[in-house]
A and B are shown apart, each in its own frame.
Chain A
Amino acid sequence: AQSVAQPEDQVNVAEGNPLTVKCTYSVSGNPYLFWYVQYPNRGLQFLLKYITGDNLVKGSYGFEAEFNKSQTSFHLKKPSALVSDSALYFCAVINYNFNKFYFGSGTKLNVKP
Chain B
Amino acid sequence: EAQVTQNPRYLITVTGKKLTVTCSQNMNHEYMSWYRQDPGLGLRQIYYSMNVEVTDKGDVPEGYKVSRKEKRNFPLILESPSPNQTSLYFCASRGSSTGTGVYNEQFFGPGTRLTVL
Contacts and interface: CB of A to CB of B under 8 A. Distances in A.
Contacts of A94: 102-103
B43 A51 contact: no
Contact of A49 (B44, B90, B105): B105
Given A43-B109, A43-B111, A100 B90 contact: no
Interface residues of A, number: 25
A99 interface: yes
Contacts of B111: 41-43
Interface of A: 6, 9, 32, 34, 36, 41-46, 49, 51, 90, 92, 94, 98-106
Interface of B: 4, 31, 33, 35, 40-45, 48, 50, 56, 58-59, 90, 92, 97, 102-103, 105-111
Given A43-B90, A43-B111, A44-B90, A101 B106 contact: yes
A45 B58 CA distance: 21
Given A103-B43, A104-B42, A105-B40, A98 B97 contact: yes
B20 to A, nearest CB: 19
What DSSP secondary structure best describes chain B's contact surface?
strand
B110 A105 contact: no
Contact of A98 (B41, B43, B45, B102): B102
Contacts of A51: 103
Given A45-B108, A99-B50, 9 more contacts: A36-B108, A42-B110, A90-B42, A94-B103, A99-B97, A100-B58, A101-B106, A102-B45, A105-B42
A57 B89 CA distance: 29
